[in-house]
Amino acid sequence: MTTNTTHFGFKQVDSKDKVKLVRGVFDSVADSYDVMNDLMSVGIHRIWKRIAVQLSNVRKDETVLDLAGGTGDLTALFEKRVGKNGQVVLADINAQMLRTGRDRLIDKGLVGNVRYAQVNAECLPFEDNTFDCVCIGFGLRNVTDKDAALRSMYRVLKPGGRLIVLEFSHPTDKITEKVYDFYSFKLLPKIGKFVAKDEDSYRYLAESIRMHPKQDELKNMMVNAGFERCEYYNMTQGIVAIHRGYKI
């Protein structure tokens, strides 16, 4: 009898166990997630997120699904764009991350047009043609079945809707790649140990980035899921990429 396996960082694990293992990582880092994001990227993650929101072309009165929305950075940016008559759904598979994001947004006074949902991206519990935009920021690499998730995102988008995938990706030159590898595998786990008191989770995060599909591969996966006019934008020499596709 064969067992379906997938990667958890560089390890091979039973596919049905990956959700539980990823949940353990983010349960561990939820309270220090924002501080670590600022440290890991020297604050540049805020610029990446603003560019992703700009590329989404979200307008007033539209409806946005912020998948793997975590602590709510992207939701807060989308909320400003959709206005009081629009709506943003902050969604995450991890309850602790979702609670952290909800508390942050409530503290900011964002209570009128933001909803919350604990969901699995592979089987979204929303009706067909619900959202004008689906955005998944730094979350797709943690999904077990990425193809199923992309098909699910396509289904819940309205015709003319946009998918935005903001994700760590693969450097476009050898020098950046070598520096990035040194930082990811030598420095990042130590920063995680010192700040978040969790070296293993940040080692997993570095490994999960390396296992994520390369830019052109992810673009082809989006095409196979039904998206059209697919394109991507490399940022910071390909350390991060933003993919965009449309449901026509």
Nearest to 125 by CA among 67, 167, 75: 67
Q: Which residue has the tokens 């955005």?
A: 135
Burial (CB count within 10 angstroms: exposed 0-12, middle 13-18, buried 19+), residue 130: middle
Rounded Cα gap, residues 131 and 215, in angstroms: 25
- Residue 121 annotated in ligand binding: yes
Number of H helices, E strands in the chain: 10, 9
Q: What is the DSSP string of 113-153?
A: SEEEEE--GGG--S-TT-EEEEEEES-GGG-S-HHHHHHHH
Q: Count how many Cα atoms sit within 13 Å of the Cα of residue 227 in the half-sphere of its side chain.
A: 31
- Residue 27 annotated in ligand binding: no
Rounded Cα gap, residues 144 and 151, in angstroms: 13
Length of the chain: 248
- Residue 71 annotated in ligand binding: yes
148: how many CB neighbours lie within 10 A of its CB? 15
Nearest to 144 by CA among 10, 54, 14: 14
Rounded Cα gap, residues 76 and 81, in angstroms: 9
- Residue 120 annotated in ligand binding: yes
- Asked if 98 contacts 114 with a C-beta cutoff of 8 angstroms, the reply is no
List residues forming the annotated binding site for S-adenosyl-L-methionine: 71, 92, 120-121
List residues forming the annotated binding site: 71, 92, 120-121
